[in-house]
């Protein structure tokens, strides 16, 4: 059987970056002004955020179904170089070897060739992806409206 190729975004899909940023600002109110516009430039903010609810179990289920080849597709903030290694660390920490040499870092997700892209945003080429975009979670740029697949349960229902 030919496996279908699935790209999985990180922030807002498997990584609860929003919660981590809120917690960080609560601990560092003095730095609110400095990072308010670009919270993704906060040093170390990508290293240990909590996972999105159900994400780790669901991704493992997809992997062990044998139906999919899984890759990470994440846009790494240009102004925070250490986030490259922080994100790789996060993936290994939560998934072990599952994504060994399978991490794409790109702002042009439309260049990726595959069947599905699970992403919370349309940006960085996601909406022009040649396969099917599975819009995950919440549209935090638009009143936090739920996207078509608000939870990992909905994704599993679609893909398993």
Residues found near Mg ion in the complex (CB under 5 A) = 9, 11-12, 120
- C-alpha torsion 141→52→157→101, nearest 10: 100
Residue nearest to Mg ion (CB): 12
Nearer to Mg ion, 7 or 68 (CB): 7
Containing 157, the helix (H) or strand (E) segment is helix 152-159
Pairing of strands 138-139, 145-146: antiparallel
Q: How far is the CB of 119 from Mg ion (least distance, A)?
A: 6
Nearer to Mg ion, 109 or 159 (CB): 109
Known catalytic residues? 9, 11
Q: How far is the CB of 7 from Mg ion (least distance, A)?
A: 12
Nearer to Mg ion, 62 or 75 (CB): 75
Q: How far is the CB of 60 from Mg ion (least distance, A)?
A: 20
DSSP string of 101-141? T-EEE-S-GGG--SSEEEES-STTTGGG-SSEEEEBSEETT
């Amino acid at each position: 059987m030919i496996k279908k190729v699935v790209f999985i975004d990180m922030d807002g899909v498997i990584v609860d970056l929003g919660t981590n940023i809120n917690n960080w600002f609560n601990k560092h109110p003095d730095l609110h002004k400095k990072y308010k516009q670009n919270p993704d430039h906060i040093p170390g903010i990508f290293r240990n955020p909590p996972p999105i609810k159900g994400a780790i179990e669901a991704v493992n289920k997809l992997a062990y179904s044998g139906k999919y080849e899984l890759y990470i597709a994440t846009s790494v903030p240009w102004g925070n170089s250490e986030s490259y290694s922080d994100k790789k660390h996060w993936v290994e920490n939560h998934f072990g070897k599952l994504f060994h040499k399978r991490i794409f870092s790109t702002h042009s997700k439309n260049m990726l060739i595959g069947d599905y892209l699970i992403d919370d945003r349309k940006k960085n080429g996601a909406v022009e992806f040649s396969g099917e975009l599975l819009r995950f979670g919440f549209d935090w740029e638009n009143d936090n409206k739920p996207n078509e697949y608000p939870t990992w349960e909905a994704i599993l229902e679609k893909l398993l």
